[in-house]
Chain A
Amino acid sequence: MQYNWNWSIFWAPAPDGTGPYIGWLVSGLGWTLATAFCAWAIALALGSLVGTLRTLPYRWVVRAGNAYVELFRNIPLLVQMFLWYFVLPELVPKAAGEAIKQMPPPWASFVPAVLCLGFYTSARVAEQVRAGIQSLPRGQLAAATALGLRLPQAYRHVLLPMAFRIILPPLTSEFMNVIKNSAVALTIGLMELTNRARSMQEFSFQVFEAFTGATAIYILVNIVVVLAMRALEKKVAVPGYIGAASGAASPGH
């Protein structure tokens, strides 16, 4: 039993005439990162909003925020992907549904993938933001109020700036999760990195080289993100704190 290794396959021309196979992986990486960044923007904006709402002293707002988080956390990402891709165009008004279905190829799977990952991750970010705000000493809000700040001002100038600096490490792992989770979008046809590796494997029959290439790229991205975030953490660390909260023991995937 012998596997024929052929590492030069990365430089062999790909069957679609766009250059060598390595170009497929690089283009896949580009789509992976584009999807992850766009989704992260949505996740950060929505997640911060929902996470903040869940700490307000209004019971119904908190309940609505909790419901939002539970909704996105308890449905598998792949199923959510199918809901955005297959189900949403059927449920919106007919004209809008038609417009969605008419989108040209890369966007037809890119847009649902970004929305899906954005909303899915926003629930997880919301959970971190809530935990971050609630980890602050109660006295901070009291002191802000005593200084004459109204509630929005207290959040804007006191609570949120502290909370975000504290939850930076768990947010880093959430960002890594978006990058990894974007691979699920291959099920709706997005040509991201894992999908590119799979098609490279199908065309070249060099299974292990293709997957090794993709794995190496993911590890590289991982290292870059960790290093960048570590530098950022050092820069924004709250003076006087031993260290920021770590997400080591939190469940995830």
Chain B
Amino acid sequence: MADPGTPISPSLADMQNALLAVDRVRAGRIIRDSCIPGSPFTCLERLVVPALEEIGRRWEAGDVALSQVYMSGRICEEIVDTMLPPGDPRRIDQPKMAIAVLEDHHTLGKRIVLSVLRAGGFEVADYGQGVTVDQLVEQVIRNKVRILLISTLMLPAALRAKEAIAQIRKELPETKVIVGGAPFNFDPRLWTEVGADAMGYTASDTLARVKEMAGGMQS
């Protein structure tokens, strides 16, 4: 998140405005004009990620809408994929990560988080939606996932995360779990109750948590 005391650069402010206006062309032009070709990570760190972080912060404060967060993530993901295609060896050297919508079929939250993490240079395996506890535990253990993101919309699914996390911990005690979604936003104590390591209030908040966790792990 940008330090409120630090003046925002003109290109960052322009980027935020272009994203909030869902203006792909303008966002692409700002990137081309502001970033040095061949230095995608500098561009990510100085422009793309701070813009998404600020938009996430404003969503949390009720100033922007979910549709704008979603479209911003999609636009940034598209732009970043052109600079740094998925699978590019220059992508961040990172621990194995995965995301799933647990026992639920509402995929928007997962899609937003995926876009923001990919726009931040991370590779994340997508385990899909409507994933049962057993399926999730089996996939995480088989793939030795180090950072797991669980997205939920409905309260019963959020509560079911407790069982999944407990089973994963038995086999992979070092695996970190971040939960997110409406039930966690409406009850700020719920993420600790289900045994998660962290919660993402927004997709960009999740990106910050992933960066912290990945920084403390060997890939």
Partners in one complex: no
Q: Which residues of B contact A (CB under 8 A)?
A: none
Q: Which residues of A contact B (CB under 8 A)?
A: none
